[in-house]
Amino acid sequence: MGYVTTEETKRRGRRPAGADTKTALVEAARAVFTEQGYEGATVRAIARRAGVDPAMVNHWFGGKDGLFAKAVLQLPIDPAQIVADVTAGDVDSVGDRVVRRFLTVWDSTGGGQFAALIRSVAGHEMAVTGLRELFVNGVFGPITRYAGGDGDPMLRATLVASQLIGLGMVRYVAGFDPLATADINTVAAAVGPTMQRYLTGTIT
Amino acid sequence: MGYVTTEETKRRGRRPAGADTKTALVEAARAVFTEQGYEGATVRAIARRAGVDPAMVNHWFGGKDGLFAKAVLQLPIDPAQIVADVTAGDVDSVGDRVVRRFLTVWDSTGGGQFAALIRSVAGHEMAVTGLRELFVNGVFGPITRYAGGDGDPMLRATLVASQLIGLGMVRYVAGFDPLATADINTVAAAVGPTMQRYLTGTIT
């Protein structure tokens, strides 16, 4: 048996391609992640529930992490694109790029989506596991390896995560001024060197 | 009329000193902060509801901020004591002391209280206002002024807050390893220089 049997396809009706397929996958993903948790959910199970080819998950969302980001966390970003943007360019200015990319992503949502993300982290173990996979392994890990600092790359990755999460908390959730309303150049000048040191500098 | 009329004292019965007075104040504070919000709540109103002298609020809790920290946030700390500890010593090592003090406070609670604090911030405007008063104005502000960095001390204070909140999120809420389980010396070596720069270094 394949992922979608002929019986299933008949019963559910044939899915049109494109937007409807994406919507069906997002809805199926929400249900399966909720029922099975992040680790238990499989691309195969989600695709089966949506009545589509599992290959479409990779095609549309770049795999399980991307589907989780879109369906459950409703992030305004494509994690793979972030990594591509930040790792294109001089390693000596990666810290500055990390801060600017973080701000352009979340400033654009007015901060509401960051606050929603934090609520989901504070309330649900599933979200925590998914975020660890998505951000630590999927975003900060690759950026740290690109930067090439010595020692444990995951310590560097979680340090980067700590400063960015805290920046988001102050700017989008708590609204502590002046950092909450400072312009991007001000924040990049203040926080960029922190990122640079966590990625390439001496941390021990 | 004073804070407690003779009539009120008679009706409520006389409060014994010490532990019962503190308990009564904490219970009254929870009620008044909830009804009035952080800014609307007054020491006078809380003391009146508890049937005790407003001077006792200052005596036991160091004022409204301390009572909010104890009653609503249930923090395991005395904010004034933190400031005293961190500002005693050489300015050149203040960053290291800030990180170590943060970790010893919250590691001792197993992180559960930090997570509770974040949930309250993510869910309630009252908690946000209270935290701003308590931490930004009451803790990080005085530490920043002691450190004496140039420029806007509140930008420095909110930068310090951002790194510490993010450290707490990674260590106590999300549990991203290895930062979540790193020993205090490792975290101080990594994050201390960030604190030092935010407090005394060049940030523009």
Mean pLDDT over the full length of chain A: 84
Reply yes or no on whether the pLDDT at B153 is more than 90: yes
pLDDT at B8: 47
Among B13-22, B51-60, B121-130, the range with the most confident prediction by mean pLDDT is: B51-60
Q: Where is pLDDT greater, at B185 or B20?
A: B185
Spatial separation of the C-alpha atoms in residues A12 and B14, rounded to whole Å? 73
State the smallest CA–CA distance between residue A124 and chain B in angstroms. 10
Nearest to B63 by CA among B81, B86, B42: B42
Cβ contact, residue pair A179, B162, below 8 Å: yes
Q: Supply the DSSP string of A76-103, one letter for each residue.
A: SS-HHHHHHHHHSS-GGGHHHHHHHHHH
Q: Which residue of B has its CA nearest to A127?
A: B174
How confident is the model over A172-203, as pLDDT tens digits?
Answer: 988 899 999 999 999 999 999 999 999 999 99
Cβ contact, residue pair B176, A158, below 8 Å: yes
pLDDT at B4: 45
Contact B20, B10 (CB under 8 A): no
Judging contacts by C-beta atoms under 8 Å, the chain A residues touching residue B174 are 121, 128, 131-132, 165
Contact B79, B138 (CB under 8 A): yes
Reply yes or no on whether the pLDDT at A14 is more than 80: no
Size of interface A-B (CB pairs under 8 A): 135
What interhelical angle do A153-168 and A94-107 show, nearest 10? 40
How is residue A181 annotated by DSSP?
T
Reply yes or no on whether the pLDDT at B121 is more than 80: no
Most A-contacting residue of B179, B195, B202 (CB-CB within 10 A), to test interface: B179
Judging contacts by C-beta atoms under 8 Å, the chain B residues touching residue A121 are 169, 173-174
Cβ contact, residue pair A169, B197, below 8 Å: no
Among 3.40.50.460, 1.10.10.60, 3.40.50.300, 3.40.50.20, what is the CATH number of B6-71?
1.10.10.60
How confident is the model over B165-196, as pLDDT tens digits?
Answer: 999 999 998 889 999 999 999 999 999 999 99
Most B-contacting residue of A176, A187, A203 (CB-CB within 10 A), to test interface: A176
Cβ contact, residue pair A167, B170, below 8 Å: no
Question: Exposure of B148 by Cβ count < 10 A (0-12 exposed, 13-18 middle, 19+ buried)?
Answer: exposed
How confident is the model over A69-87, as pLDDT tens digits?
Answer: 777 777 777 788 899 999 9
Judging contacts by C-beta atoms under 8 Å, the chain B residues touching residue A119 are 119, 122-123
Contact A151, A204 (CB under 8 A): yes
Spatial separation of the C-alpha atoms in residues A201 and B191, rounded to whole Å? 12
Structure tokens at A68: 């989780």
Most B-contacting residue of A119, A140, A179 (CB-CB within 10 A), to test interface: A179
State the smallest CA–CA distance between residue A163 and chain B in angstroms. 5
Fold of B79-200: Tetracycline Repressor; domain 2 (1.10.357)
What is the pLDDT confidence band of residue B63, given thresholds at 50, 70 and 90? confident
Q: For chain A, where do the domains classified as CATH 1.10.357.10 start and end?
A: 79-200
pLDDT at B46: 93
Most B-contacting residue of A38, A129, A159 (CB-CB within 10 A), to test interface: A159
Nearest to A41 by CA among A65, A75, A9, A62: A65
Cβ contact, residue pair B163, A161, below 8 Å: no
| Identity at A93, one-letter amino acid code | S
| Nearest CB neighbour to A176, from listed B158, B182, B194 | B158
Judging contacts by C-beta atoms under 8 Å, the chain B residues touching residue A174 are 121, 128, 131-132, 165
State the smallest CA–CA distance between residue B203 and chain A in angstroms. 4
Location of structure tokens 């560097």 = A156
Spatial separation of the C-alpha atoms in residues B28 and B48, rounded to whole Å? 9
CB count in 10 Å sphere of residue B9: 14
Mean pLDDT, residues B30-57 = 88
Q: Which residue of A has its CA nearest to B154?
A: A178
What interhelical angle do A54-61 and A64-71 show, nearest 10? 70
Q: Cα dist. A177→A170, B83, B121, B158, B178 in Å?
A: 8, 21, 16, 7, 31
Cβ contact, residue pair A131, B169, below 8 Å: no
Nearest to B160 by CA among B127, B105, B201: B201
How is residue A48 annotated by DSSP?
H
pTM exceeds cut of 0.95: no
Contact A129, A39 (CB under 8 A): yes
Reply yes or no on whether the pLDDT at B2 is more than 80: no
Spatial separation of the C-alpha atoms in residues A187 and B90, rounded to whole Å? 28
Cβ contact, residue pair B178, A166, below 8 Å: no
Reply yes or no on whether the pLDDT at A167 is more than 70: yes
Q: For chain A, where do the domains classified as CATH 1.10.10.60 start and end?
A: 6-71
Mean pLDDT lowest for which of A6-15, A57-66, B168-177?
A6-15
Mean pLDDT over the full length of chain B: 84
Mean pLDDT, residues A119-143 = 76
| Nearest CB neighbour to A190, from listed B121, B159, B180 | B159
How confident is the model over A15-60, as pLDDT tens digits?
Answer: 445 778 888 898 998 888 878 877 788 999 999 999 999 998 888 8
